[in-house]
Chain A
Amino acid sequence: MHVRVVDREGEERELEALEGWRLMEIIRDWGLPIKAECGGACACATCHVYVAQDWVEKLHPPREDELDRLDEAYDVRPNSRLACQILFSPELDGLTVVLAPELA
């Protein structure tokens, strides 16, 4: 199982993903720059990613608290998600996401 992550410099990497891990944890554990300050509590919006268009519909829709927290992210788009709210499963093999800009 893999996830493709495009960093803020535009470089794409294929990371091995594990079932039951949050997308944020996978990205963080591979050492990519994702702040994830609240450790996945949906409390900081520093794990903001853009999901590739053809994947948007395949993910479970965001819950209310994720939409609320996205208010604290920058440049939110219709395909914006918080990576800590996406649990990896075999159906997500091949998912592609782009790291969103960071707030200082």
Chain B
Amino acid sequence: MTNDNIITTDVVIVGAGPCGLFAVFELGLLDIRAHLVDILPKVGGQCAELYPEKPIYDIPGFPVVTGQGLVDNLIEQIKPFGPTFHLNQMIQALEPTGTAEAPRFRVVTDAGTVFDTKTVLIAAGGGSFQPKKPPIPGIDAYEGKSGGGAGVFYAVRKMEAFRGRDVLIVGGGDSALDWTLNLQPIARRVTLMHRRDDFRAAPHSVEQMRALVASGQMDMKLGQVTGLRGEGATLEAAICRDAAGETFEIACDTLLPFFGLTMKLGPIADWGLNLNENLIPADTEKFETSTPGIFAIGDINTYPGKLKLILSGFHEAALAAQKVHRYVYPDKRLTFQYTTSSTSLQKKLGVA
């Protein structure tokens, strides 16, 4: 990778959950622009992924707001600061390249984006949202990764990789239906399997799928995968069970199981942060970790008395931003101001 592709910035925020989003606001008031990275294709973390329609009652000033409603409001609130989002990417590596007094870090995502940043704010919540892996006996041998097979995938990165293949897709939600429809023209044959004849995916995708089945362009089977068969790392068939308990096989060289997402700590464990039961210890004055220049806010951090609440994460973001400012503008004095009365802050917010 050449230098031109490196993004030079003041702060990289790991995770675009509610706490990472609000940090953009607090940093923005201090003239610090942020890049946010999230493995999800959307912002909002747990609020957007796990409970978009459920009500939250303990956000100060909002007697009730839904998970998605809160995220939408945060996006509106941070708009003046023009954050850059890098979605669908997981931060893989984080290495210090500076000193304790003048920290600098090289941050690399699994999609090859490289940042050269003065500070890092980890707002990774419960970890990266990653596809769940069904405990089908022997599945590891067929997984598409170095050293393994090339038959089981939990996500589609390049559709071309599935050209001419016999693909079995398992699931009844949007991911399963979307990939069924997208891969059907490319694959040799697509079979969709679901445990019941009722799909929670968007109705128009389900209709399209049923039309393709009716015209013989793909197959739909009711059942669940219980085993896999194939020589070495080459997948040949999935062993399945129908609702009556009968066993049958589906010939396939590719399996795409969609069982939803789960939070996994992921690469954070390798960043040298003295983890404590998968949480990052931080001080309560500036929410800095054991590595100067790396901060931890929201659900991912731990300190005496920690409460995993959104409001705590917001407070942590405000305090962390103060110290980030010291690293980014070592010579500038920071004065305490209210958004209500400071013309300078209001200019930044675009309202003065």
Contact = CB atoms under 8 A, between A and B. Distances in A.
Interface of A: 35, 37-38, 41, 43-46, 67-68, 71-76, 101-104
Given A44-B262, A45-B260, A103 B51 contact: no
Contact of B135 (A72, A76, A103): A103
Nearest to A104: B133
User: Could you say which interface size class chain B belongs to?
Assistant: 20 to 34
B44 interface: no
Contact of A104 (B132, B195, B226, B260): B132
25 contacts: A37-B50, A37-B262, A37-B263, A38-B50, A38-B51, A43-B51, A44-B260, A44-B262, A45-B259, A67-B196, A67-B198, A68-B200, A71-B172, A71-B200, A72-B132, A72-B173, A72-B259, A73-B259, A74-B134, A74-B135, A74-B224, A74-B259, A76-B224, A103-B262, A104-B135
A75 B259 CA distance: 11
Nearest to A80: B195
Given A41-B54, A43-B50, A103-B134, 4 more contacts: A35-B262, A44-B50, A72-B259, A104-B132
Interface of B: 50-51, 54, 126, 132-136, 171-173, 194-196, 198, 200, 224, 226, 259-260, 262-263
B200 A103 contact: no
B224 A71 contact: no
Contacts, number: 53
Contacts of A102: 135
A19 B270 CA distance: 44
A102 B259 CA distance: 11
Contacts of A74: 134-136, 224, 259
Given A43-B50, A103-B133, A72 B224 contact: no
Nearest to B130: A104
A35 B261 CA distance: 13
Nearest to A76: B195
Nearest to A39: B50
A58 B132 CA distance: 32
Contacts of A72: 132, 173, 259-260
Contacts of A68: 200
A43 B196 CA distance: 19
A74 B258 CA distance: 11
Contacts of A41: 50-51, 54
Contacts of A45: 259-260
Contacts of B195: 71, 76
Contacts of B259: 45, 72-74, 103
A35 B259 CA distance: 15
Given A37-B263, A41-B51, A76-B224, A71 B134 contact: no
A74 B260 CA distance: 11
A71 B132 contact: no
Contacts of B194: 71
**From B132, B133, B135, B171, residue with most partner A Cβ within 10 Å:** B132
Given A101-B135, A103-B133, A103-B135, A46 B226 contact: no
Kindly list the 10 A-B residue pairs having the minimum CB-CB distance in the complex, ordered from nearest.
A72-B260, A103-B132, A104-B133, A68-B200, A43-B50, A74-B134, A71-B172, A72-B259, A38-B50, A101-B135
A64 to B, nearest CB: 9
A18 B226 CA distance: 36
Contacts of A43: 50-51
A73 B50 CA distance: 15
A72 B172 CA distance: 9
A103 B126 CA distance: 17
B257 to A, nearest CB: 9
A45 B262 CA distance: 10
Contacts of A103: 132-135, 259, 262
B315 to A, nearest CB: 22
Contacts of B173: 71-72
Nearest to B134: A74
Contacts of A35: 262
